[in-house]
Chains A and B, each alone.
Chain A
Amino acid sequence: MTGTARDPARAAQQPPPAESAGHDLPERLWEAVIAGDEFVAVDTVLAAVDGGTGIEELLLDVIAPLQARVGLEWAADRMTVAQEHTATAVSERLIAALAHHPAARRRTARPAGRVTAACIDGEWHALPARIVAEVLRLRGWQVDYLGAQVPTPHLIAHVHRTGPAVVALSSSIPTRLPDAHAAITACRATGTPVLVGGAAYGTDGRYAALLGADAWAPDARSAADRLAAGPLPAPPPPYQALDDLPHLADQEYAHVRREAPRLVRHVMERLRDRFPAMADYTDRQLRHTAEDIAHIVDFLAAALYVDDPALLTDFLTWTGEILSARGVPARSLPPALELLADRLTDYPRAAGMLLGAHTAMLREPSPAG
């Protein structure tokens, strides 16, 4: 995971214990990874393999939780974005080292099937998809791993070229759900079933079925288990994506999407009156405020797309916690929500979601707020 600056996906993940891999292995690895020390990190996991720990176990029970911990540390302001990118780069190298280990290169005579694993366009968290790809490879699948932020036309060209049994798509940022829907729909239109995973689909995967995915997996292990359980049936041919989301007919999502920069400007111009402390903000602080408001608008659009107010409320609650961890009051958020709701009174779903989030924020003020 190499996140955007504002990403609730990471906060939801709790690293499970990795007892069987040795008590101190995760801690030793953690030290090496946050230090950006790939040599020690790689030596540590390779020693674990030589000591008999399975590669799949290392991927799923050591490296995946390690990456989840990176997210938590960042959220708690114990890690900078630069350190986070560094830790991710080291994790990538760890996975590469494991993938090239002789123990991982057993080749089955006939592969279990062909799978395309990819992140949708705009999705930067490549690591979960990479782990799924490596675990499937270990289990005998022929895997084409296309990496992070794959434009849908590339994905579809690849699907036509290789005819995979299934496409596995990873998304961790909820604001990219509309793009995920486009990618899912395009894959299914080729007659190829889609397995989705990642925090963007909600902890219970509730958005996966809504967006037409054929299956949802909460983590790499269950993704591999689901595919091992049998082939996913091919989607039926006359497939109308609009049927998934009849509420889009009200055009509210399209309006918010189109108006996003103007909505941010509107709030920035008026927020000073409602939040006098802004007068003393530096340029950098003003930019961060504008980015925060842009994120609220992005999450509002995503919430309208899936028609779930909780998507917006959860994001704001999480943002409040992130700001509190940095000793920053979240007092500017409720007035920003009011200003947005004022601007969107003709759009009842949007205004309702904003006011609902506003109420939730006032009911549970963040500790420093």
Chain B
Amino acid sequence: MDLTQETGSSRRDLSHGVPPAPYPVLAVRPDGVVAELNEAARAILGEITGDPPRDAVPPWLAAAIRTPERTPPTGTAPIDGAPAAHGLIGERAYEAHLAAGAGTGDSAAPDVTLCWLLDVTERDMLVRELAAERERTALLSEASGLLSASLNLERCMEVTARLATRYLADAAVVIVPPLGRSHPVAYCGPDGIVDHQDLVIDPADVPGLTEAMQGFPPVPSRWIDPASAPDWVRRDGLRDPAAMVVTALPGHGFPAGALVLLRRSGRAAFTEREEAFARLFAARAGAAMSAARLYAEQTSITETLMRDLLPPRTRELDGVELAARYRPAGDGERVGGDFYDVHPADGTDPDGESLVVLGDVCGKGLEAAVLTGKIRTALRALLPMAGDHGRVLRLLNATLLNVATARFVTLVLASIRREGSRVVLRLTSAGHAPPLIVRSDGTVEEAATGGSLIGVLEDITSTSATVVLDPGDTCLLYTDGITEAHGGPLGDEMFGDLRLRAELGRCGGMPPEALVERVHMLAAQWAGAGPHDDIALVAITAPRRLGSGGTAPRMTGSEGDPA
């Protein structure tokens, strides 16, 4: 703001250099006495030259003109600098800026200080509003950040109750539609601690809560008599609130819940600013909570549908040890095109066999997984015929040919029977890599079985192999996710059959869990950070009789190779 020119041109007319500016200006002598003031100054302060009454000048201004320090040089516009003082005159806010009076030859003039008064009422109001707006934005941003972080309903309720208590009330209750018979309720007291409970309550106990819980049509926040609130709303720490309001939390097309705010002080209303904030906050909280609820519902549906597709747990099968590993290709997936299944023998049949199946449906992801589910179900139905692997495979083939999909499957059937300390296996491969037999001394053999893959040809053939496992021997069924793992130290090699067999040669006598972990780890580390295929592994082991006069396993191979 440049007033220098005006100051200069008006100088001559005024004995003390007080310009007839639109700004109020006072000329003050070193003793604090006002020597002169312009028209604008007179309009707000009255005639105060000479020795004015004590209360004619507001104290803040009186103090400022009595100690005119750091007076800037003559002629510069003082208003751009920091004010010497700031305060009210009447109902308006002013800044006082000091400048040295202009010399005019008059003996008094060089000694006066000019005090410019700048009306900052509007500016101050804007600054305050801006600060308040910034605070609201920061709060909403924080609320949004906290609310959108989690897809867990309980967490969203907790955040909502805590933020509402911090910014809108002294205590807050979040109520969501019932899960089963009870309503999840989160309460945040004045101490900021959130308590979660599932309460069997009747929303009608709180006036307006039923309507707010319905979510639509929108209802305005409703202030109600706190005395009418039930005990689950009025709790220790705030048993007798002075004011209470019920606010709906709007959801995405269905009710997200309601928020009850409790206040100590008697203000039974929001200010306009609080109202706006409460509305925005409720919209965000409602959106977050309904997203969390949708996610929970979807997850629960997925869990239910997925249950039959997930691989079964393994441990022991009638005295035969079993261990399995399963890992779908995608990090976000839980099922893929590889599968295995375990069917324990009928306990009433002394000659009964258990059946283990491991296979690989062409394709990846959920679509392939759905087909593995159908194949597992079909095989379960075919169990009574498991004595004849060829027949099971022919029937499965016929079933798959009838299903209108272009997919096919390769698999291995392993029928397991225990004979004393030994385990007799009947193994049949249908287009799948033959199982590998890892003897306890580290010898690795391939089971002599082979056959057509399933789901492509009308007529299929297969050859079964019978393998006897002595104590400590393991039969490993695996999918090509192991052997076709791509990577290695140079990044462009296949893990391959030869490496798998060489590694298995060092795994003689291992318990099945340790063996499948070892093989899985080798393949996973071979693939490194690169893409990997679905992996399924099942190890069937004839238990070693240790602890009762058995001998320790013969471990083979050494890792001590030169580098």
Q: Chain A residues with Cβ under 8 A from B510's Cβ?
A: 36, 82, 85-86, 89
Bound together, the chains give a CA A35 to CA B549 distance in angstroms of 12
**CB-CB nearest in chain A for B559:** A81
**CB-CB nearest in chain B for A148:** B517
Q: Chain A residues with Cβ under 8 A from B521's Cβ?
A: 2, 4, 124
Q: Chain B residues with Cβ under 8 A from A215's Cβ?
A: none
CB distance from A271 to the nearest CB of B (A): 10
- Are A153 and B331 neighbours in the complex by a CB distance under 8 Å? yes
- Are A261 and B518 neighbours in the complex by a CB distance under 8 Å? no
**CB-CB nearest in chain A for B141:** A238
Bound together, the chains give a CA A80 to CA B521 distance in angstroms of 16
The digit string for A319-334, where 1 denotes a CB below 8 A from any CB of B, is 1000101111110110
Bound together, the chains give a CA A328 to CA B521 distance in angstroms of 25
Bound together, the chains give a CA A151 to CA B563 distance in angstroms of 32
A293 at the interface (CB under 8 A from B): yes
The digit string for B144-169, where 1 denotes a CB below 8 A from any CB of A, is 01100111111100010000000000
- Are B511 and A86 neighbours in the complex by a CB distance under 8 Å? yes
- Are A287 and B489 neighbours in the complex by a CB distance under 8 Å? yes
Interface of B is mostly: loop
A225 at the interface (CB under 8 A from B): no
Q: Which parts of B487-513 form the interface with A (CB within 8 Å)?
A: 488-492, 506-511, 513
B332 at the interface (CB under 8 A from A): yes
Pick the contact of B490: A192, A237, A284, A290 (CB < 8 A): A290
Stretch touching chain A among B95-103, B407-415, B550-558? B550-558
Bound together, the chains give a CA A89 to CA B525 distance in angstroms of 20
- Are B525 and A4 neighbours in the complex by a CB distance under 8 Å? yes
Pick the contact of B563: A35, A152, A264, A289 (CB < 8 A): A289
The digit string for B269-299, where 1 denotes a CB below 8 A from any CB of A, is 0000000000000000000000010011001
Q: Chain B residues with Cβ under 8 A from A262's Cβ?
A: 491
B560 at the interface (CB under 8 A from A): yes
B523 at the interface (CB under 8 A from A): no
Bound together, the chains give a CA A284 to CA B511 distance in angstroms of 26
The digit string for B308-341, where 1 denotes a CB below 8 A from any CB of A, is 0000000000000000000000011010000000
Query: With A35-B552, A237-B145, A237-B149 in contact, is A157–B563 under 8 Å at CB?
Result: no
Q: Chain B residues with Cβ under 8 A from A284's Cβ?
A: 561
A144 at the interface (CB under 8 A from B): no
Bound together, the chains give a CA A156 to CA B107 distance in angstroms of 83
A83 at the interface (CB under 8 A from B): yes
Stretch touching chain B among A159-167, A244-252, A339-347? A159-167
A46 at the interface (CB under 8 A from B): no
Question: Which one of B149, B159, B508 has the greatest number of beta carbons of chain A within 10 Å?
Answer: B149
- Are A160 and B152 neighbours in the complex by a CB distance under 8 Å? yes
CB distance from A238 to the nearest CB of B (A): 5
B546 at the interface (CB under 8 A from A): yes
**CB-CB nearest in chain B for A41:** B547
A268 at the interface (CB under 8 A from B): yes
B536 at the interface (CB under 8 A from A): no
Bound together, the chains give a CA A27 to CA B563 distance in angstroms of 34
Bound together, the chains give a CA A287 to CA B490 distance in angstroms of 10
Q: Which parts of A1-25 form the interface with B (CB within 8 Å)?
A: 2, 4-5
Question: Which one of B153, B334, B514, B557 has the greatest number of beta carbons of chain A within 10 Å?
Answer: B514
Bound together, the chains give a CA A319 to CA B563 distance in angstroms of 10
The digit string for A84-108, where 1 denotes a CB below 8 A from any CB of B, is 0110111010000000000000000
- Chain A's interface size range is 35 or more
A53 at the interface (CB under 8 A from B): no
CB distance from A154 to the nearest CB of B (A): 7
Pick the contact of A264: B334, B489, B508 (CB < 8 A): B489
- Are B561 and A261 neighbours in the complex by a CB distance under 8 Å? no
Query: With A2-B517, A151-B331 in contact, is A157–B299 under 8 Å at CB?
Result: yes
Query: With A151-B332, A154-B334 in contact, is A191–B155 under 8 Å at CB?
Result: yes
Pick the contact of B331: A38, A152, A189 (CB < 8 A): A152
- Are A81 and B518 neighbours in the complex by a CB distance under 8 Å? yes
Q: Chain A residues with Cβ under 8 A from B146's Cβ?
A: 191, 237
- Are A36 and B509 neighbours in the complex by a CB distance under 8 Å? yes
**CB-CB nearest in chain B for A122:** B524
Q: Chain B residues with Cβ under 8 A from A333's Cβ?
A: 563
Q: Chain A residues with Cβ under 8 A from B296's Cβ?
A: 161
- Are B506 and A82 neighbours in the complex by a CB distance under 8 Å? yes
A73 at the interface (CB under 8 A from B): no
- Are B559 and A159 neighbours in the complex by a CB distance under 8 Å? no
Q: Which parts of A23-53 form the interface with B (CB within 8 Å)?
A: 32, 34-40, 43
- Are A36 and B489 neighbours in the complex by a CB distance under 8 Å? no
- Are B511 and A38 neighbours in the complex by a CB distance under 8 Å? yes
Query: With A36-B553, A290-B490 in contact, is A326–B295 under 8 Å at CB?
Result: no
A317 at the interface (CB under 8 A from B): no
A294 at the interface (CB under 8 A from B): yes
B562 at the interface (CB under 8 A from A): yes
Q: Chain A residues with Cβ under 8 A from B388's Cβ?
A: none
By the criterion of a CB under 8 Å from any partner CB, how many residues of chain B are at the interface? 55
Q: Chain B residues with Cβ under 8 A from A281's Cβ?
A: 562
Bound together, the chains give a CA A82 to CA B513 distance in angstroms of 12
**CB-CB nearest in chain B for A159:** B152
Q: Chain A residues with Cβ under 8 A from B525's Cβ?
A: 4
Q: Chain A residues with Cβ under 8 A from B295's Cβ?
A: 160
CB distance from B196 to the nearest CB of A (A): 10
Query: With A85-B518, A153-B331, A293-B489 in contact, is A36–B552 under 8 Å at CB?
Result: yes
Q: Chain B residues with Cβ under 8 A from A152's Cβ?
A: 331
Pick the contact of A40: B331, B546, B553 (CB < 8 A): B546
Q: Chain A residues with Cβ under 8 A from B491's Cβ?
A: 260-262, 264-265
Pick the contact of A85: B488, B515, B556 (CB < 8 A): B515
CB distance from B106 to the nearest CB of A (A): 63
The digit string for B177-192, where 1 denotes a CB below 8 A from any CB of A, is 0000000000000000
- Are B514 and A2 neighbours in the complex by a CB distance under 8 Å? yes
A291 at the interface (CB under 8 A from B): yes
Bound together, the chains give a CA A288 to CA B502 distance in angstroms of 14
CB distance from B407 to the nearest CB of A (A): 25
CB distance from A241 to the nearest CB of B (A): 14
B142 at the interface (CB under 8 A from A): yes
CB distance from A298 to the nearest CB of B (A): 9
**CB-CB nearest in chain B for A238:** B145
- Are B560 and A265 neighbours in the complex by a CB distance under 8 Å? no
**CB-CB nearest in chain A for B196:** A163
Bound together, the chains give a CA A86 to CA B155 distance in angstroms of 42
Q: Chain B residues with Cβ under 8 A from A35's Cβ?
A: 546, 552-553
CB distance from A261 to the nearest CB of B (A): 3
Pick the contact of A332: B550, B553, B563 (CB < 8 A): B563
- Are A80 and B334 neighbours in the complex by a CB distance under 8 Å? no
CB distance from B309 to the nearest CB of A (A): 15
Q: Chain A residues with Cβ under 8 A from B547's Cβ?
A: 32, 37, 39-40, 43
Query: With A82-B557, A153-B332, A154-B334 in contact, is A190–B511 under 8 Å at CB?
Result: no
CB distance from B298 to the nearest CB of A (A): 11
Q: Chain B residues with Cβ under 8 A from A290's Cβ?
A: 488-490
- Are B514 and A88 neighbours in the complex by a CB distance under 8 Å? yes
Q: Chain B residues with Cβ under 8 A from A189's Cβ?
A: 149
A121 at the interface (CB under 8 A from B): yes
A57 at the interface (CB under 8 A from B): no
**CB-CB nearest in chain B for A280:** B562
New A-B pairs, 12, CB < 8 Å, besides A34-B552, A153-B331: A35-B546, A36-B510, A36-B546, A38-B546, A82-B509, A82-B557, A189-B149, A238-B142, A261-B492, A290-B488, A323-B563, A328-B560
**29 CB-based A-B contacts, threshold 8 Å:** A2-B521, A35-B546, A37-B552, A38-B546, A39-B548, A43-B547, A80-B557, A82-B510, A82-B556, A83-B555, A85-B507, A85-B514, A85-B515, A85-B517, A89-B511, A89-B517, A149-B524, A151-B332, A152-B331, A162-B152, A189-B149, A192-B150, A257-B529, A261-B489, A264-B489, A285-B562, A291-B489, A293-B489, A332-B563
Residues of B within 8 A of A (CB): 141-142, 145-146, 149-155, 159, 292, 295-296, 299, 331-332, 334, 488-492, 506-511, 513-515, 517-518, 521, 524-525, 529, 544, 546-548, 550, 552-553, 555-563
